[in-house]
Amino acid sequence: MRVQMLGLCRFSYVGLRGYKIEHDSYEERRRFLYQPDRLARRWQWFTRVALPAWQAQTDPDFTLVIMTGPDLPDPYLSRLRELVAGMPQLRLELVPPMERHLQACRAAIAPHVESDADVIGHFRHDDDDAVAIDYVASTRRDFRRVKALWKTEQRLSLDYSRGVMASVGPDGIELTPRLCHNMGVALTVFLPPEVESSALHFDHSKIGLWMPGVAITKPLMFLRAIHGDSDSGAMGPGTPWSLSREQADRQLWQRFRLRRQDLDSLARES
């Protein structure tokens, strides 16, 4: 059974709805998103936190669509074009501002759905979060284990629940290990290729309303950043688990290709 792994990452997309921070007009939203200091911070988080693990995936067979607007200011639009040219798994979609956010998301991913795939593994990825370097490989493996459940309804969510919350403070990053179900990051929604939906079409906090789900609680699979530019600054519900500083430092590199000192530096710059 051929599973296409297809993700969507929104980078300062000027559209209405779809976010916790709302604006009344495109102009107001554009002014907010395109503030020079904000764009500079988002770029640093995207390239220094989100990208390293995507570049190091043990299974390189995936597509990650970067969605932004055609008027994204330079140098960031040019930099995105350069990134996409240098990494075959990335696709850049320039979507004009749209009032209905889910339609915009569908417009971004629709050209990249492989119609000959049996199943599409849809995922969303925020531009300041990280997934583990074996996220794609693990998702394919674990889907094979539960595909009989998918066949009953042609919908299934697969949730990797073990993560680390990275909170930005004046002295650097504070890491809080948490077991959090259906956070959105490292959550895959499996649908048939002809279904005109994506992971964004289902509220991850209520995903059980639409489909059965499987939670996998080991190993550590995501890092979620919490800082002033986050759409939601809350850590959310979850269960703490133990990780010493030394273990955390090893896991940062082994799982995400990140170093604590780089995260601390990024936090202080933010």
Q: Which residue has the higher pLDDT, 166 or 27?
A: 166
**Rounded Cα–Cα distance for residues 154 and 172 (Å):** 44
Q: Identify whether the C-beta of residue 197 lies closer than 8 Å to the C-beta of residue 253.
A: no
Q: What is the pLDDT of residues 36-53, one digit of tens each?
A: 999 999 999 999 999 999
CATH code of the region 3-269: 3.90.550
- Would you list the domain boundaries of the chain? 3-269
Q: Read off the tokens for 43.
A: 């770029």
Instruction: Judge whether residue 153 has pLDDT over 80.
Output: yes
Q: What is the pLDDT of residues 161-201, one digit of tens each?
A: 999 999 988 888 999 999 999 999 999 999 999 998 899 89
**pLDDT band at residue 20 using 50, 70 and 90 as cut-offs:** low
83 C-beta neighbours (distance < 10 Å), count: 16
Q: What is the pLDDT of residues 198-246, one digit of tens each?
A: 998 999 889 999 999 999 999 999 999 997 665 555 677 889 999 999 9
Residue 22, pLDDT score: 62
**Alpha carbon distances (Å) from 151 to 155, 187, 200, 215:** 8, 19, 21, 18
What does pTM read for this prediction? 0.93
